[in-house]
Amino acid sequence: MDMRTPLGKVRGLGSAKVGTEHFWVQRMSAVAMVPLAIFFIIFLIRYAGAPYAEVIGALSNPIVAVLFGMMVIAGLVHMRIGMQEIILDYVHSEGLKFLSLMLNTFFAMLIGGLCLFAVLKIAFVG
């Protein structure tokens, strides 16, 4: 027996009225992180113990800089949504929940801005 209204069936939204967007974004960011993390690990292994100038030269490569930027963005999106789900599940006070969600978003934006600034600075200034 289905308790949803016809409009609810068409929209595909549950009681939270947000559908499955977070579920899919979380899964897609996880899938995106797999090749990016493999690239990052290979990069770390390749340049472990290398001279500073050689590492900066490698990070100045546009392809490497773009891949690092994509990894930062995908990782932060994945982290923000994961923490959001934990907050929504385990924080029961509405005021604290709102504050936690706001701080979670601001934290992700701050770390993202700092990481992307570092990647861009190395890529363009080298």
Does residue 76 lie in a domain region?
Answer: yes
Does residue 32 lie in a domain region?
Answer: yes
Mean pLDDT over 38-50 rounds to 97
Does residue 112 lie in a domain region?
Answer: yes
Predicted TM-score (pTM) above 0.85: no
* pLDDT, position 20: 80
Q: How many domains does the chain have?
A: 1
DSSP state of 43: H
Parent domain of 55: 20-125
- Residue linked to tokens 């773009």: 66
Does residue 46 lie in a domain region?
Answer: yes
- What are 2-35's pLDDT values in tens digits? 666 666 566 655 555 555 888 888 999 999 999 9
DSSP state of 19: T
Does residue 9 lie in a domain region?
Answer: no
Does residue 3 lie in a domain region?
Answer: no
Please answer whether residues 74 and 32 qualify as being in contact, where contact means their C-beta atoms are separated by less than 8 angstroms: yes
Distance CA 6, CA 45 (A): 55
Does residue 88 lie in a domain region?
Answer: yes
Report the CATH number that the domain containing residue 60 is assigned in CATH: 1.20.1300.10
- What are 77-118's pLDDT values in tens digits? 999 999 999 999 999 999 999 999 999 999 999 999 999 999
